[in-house]
């Protein structure tokens, strides 16, 4: 295939846009000829041209159009044009309407972000229900450059310097090899009908301001700005690949997984990182931690144990000579019920087996809990600890807070939420697994039947 394109270039001096389009699909491994593609078509010149290129290249496509209801009659006219395009090409047409303003208000986000979330969620639904392999979006090289500048102004890590990626998950962007002038020339040459969105010319939006005011000024310094920045983004992308390989190697060296969703990292290893803040961010970025939180972590290394740092999905704990990373698994926040007659349940990483018997001999294994069945009220509950929890430890007369028990047993703070608490139907704690049972429910000389719980 590569030799074929080289032959075309040598023979004809240059390739047509259609040939360059096929070559770009091939070079970037965006899709295969046998795959089905859902085209996101707004009605603008970019997406109309993309549709024509895919259809003329023989791909099986469907057209999806979102009416966001933001521009009144203009939105209706956009929808009508895209519908006619699909009808003319005889390809499947999918359309939906959103109350974008309401969604943005409910979610507390901008109109632009709301439109993005709504459309991509809908595209994904169509792909699953109608068996499409990819979603094609018609962003081009100028969008690529605008994204870089936007990210630099807003603040970005190295990942943001890559601009727009040609392929990310199910999303492909097959028009990134073209600039806006080439698209305009192609559309005019082929007489393609399209519609301009008036909002694209309003400088109240940051991206429009970059395109209409910032980039023209930068081009006074470098007329080949798009070409230069595109090459730079390719270099940034290569550098990012090298960095991620190093980060993966570093993570393999430092992170020791002790249980599902739990990693232990030596404090000395994190303290010796150089440059520390940058590498900390890259190491913990997949777990949702912000730079500000990781800056606090860096200043706390070697400090008092017990301090914790939280992301939406994970928690970091400083524990003497280690930093412990744990997942906020929803399973540990759930309560599992054990109904009468059941024999086994699972909570988190623990499996429980239950049985009733008249055998009253006490077993001493720590993973076995035995209780006077006459005092048991179903359903039992298995959950994680709560700050107000109290029980009467076996052999004691008074009550004890679970938090005090954890301290006396030297259970690290990051493990507390993973300790199973078995609760009787009346709310009394039966067993802090596998550490202590409650004295009130122990086997006595009067016990006739025993409920045995085995925890693995």
- 57 marked as binding residue: no
Spatial distance between the Cα atoms of 196 and 83, rounded to a whole number of angstroms: 16
- 45 marked as binding residue: yes
- 160 marked as binding residue: no
- Edge to edge, the sheet with strand 314-319 lists 256-259, 262-266, 322-327, 314-319, 308-310
- 191 marked as binding residue: no
Three-class HEC string of 42-55: CCCHHHHHHHHHHH
- 44 marked as binding residue: yes
- Residue 1, judged by CB atoms within 10 A of its CB (0-12, 13-18, 19+), counts as exposed
- 43 marked as binding residue: yes
Tell me the binding residues: 42-47
Tell me the binding residues for ATP: 42-47
């Amino acid at each position: 295939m590569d030799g074929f394109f080289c032959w075309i270039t040598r023979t004809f001096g240059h390739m047509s846009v259609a040939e360059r389009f096929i070559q770009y699909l091939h070079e970037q491994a965006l899709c295969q000829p046998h795959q089905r593609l859902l085209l996101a078509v707004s009605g603008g010149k970019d997406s109309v041209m993309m549709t024509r290129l895919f259809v003329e290249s023989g791909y099986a496509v469907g057209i999806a159009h979102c009416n966001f209801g933001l521009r009144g009659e203009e939105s209706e006219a956009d929808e009508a044009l895209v519908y006619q395009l699909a009808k003319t090409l005889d390809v499947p047409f999918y359309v939906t309407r959103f109350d974008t303003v309401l969604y943005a208000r409910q979610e507390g986000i901008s109109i632009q972000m709301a439109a993005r979330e709504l459309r991509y969620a809908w595209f994904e639904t169509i792909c699953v229900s109608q068996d499409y392999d990819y979603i094609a979006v018609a962003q081009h090289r100028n969008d690529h450059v605008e994204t870089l500048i936007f990210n630099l102004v807003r603040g970005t890590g190295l990942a943001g310097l890559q601009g727009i990626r040609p392929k990310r998950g199910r999303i492909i962007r097959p028009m990134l090899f073209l600039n806006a002038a080439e698209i305009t020339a192609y559309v005019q040459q082929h007489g393609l009908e399209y519609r301009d969105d008036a909002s694209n010319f309003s400088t109240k939006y940051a991206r429009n301001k970059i395109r209409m005011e910032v980039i023209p000024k930068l081009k006074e310094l470098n007329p080949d700005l798009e070409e230069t920045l595109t090459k730079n983004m390719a270099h940034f992308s290569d550098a990012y690949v090298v960095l991620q390989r190093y980060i993966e190697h570093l993570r393999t060296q430092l992170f020791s997984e002790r249980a599902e969703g739990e990693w232990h990292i030596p404090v000395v290893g994190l303290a010796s990182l150089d440059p520390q803040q940058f590498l900390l961010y890259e190491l913990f970025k997949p777990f949702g931690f912000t730079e500000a939180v990781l800056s606090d972590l860096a200043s706390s290394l070697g400090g008092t144990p017990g301090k914790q740092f939280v992301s939406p999905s994970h928690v970091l704990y400083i524990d003497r000579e280690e930093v412990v990373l744990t997942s906020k698994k929803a399973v540990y926040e759930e309560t599992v019920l054990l109904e009468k007659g059941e024999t086994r349940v699972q909570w988190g990483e623990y499996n429980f087996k239950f049985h009733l018997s008249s055998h009253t001999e006490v077993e001493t294994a720590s993973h076995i809990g035995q209780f006077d069945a006459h005092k048991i009220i179903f359903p039992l509950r298995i959950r994680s600890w709560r700050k107000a929890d109290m029980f009467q430890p076996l052999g004691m007369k008074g009550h004890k807070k679970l938090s005090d028990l954890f301290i006396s047993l030297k259970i690290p703070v990051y493990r507390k939420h993973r300790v199973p608490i078995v609760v009787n139907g009346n709310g009394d704690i039966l067993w802090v697994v596998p550490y202590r049972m409650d004295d009130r429910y122990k086997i006595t000389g009067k016990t006739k039947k025993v409920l045995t719980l085995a925890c693995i």
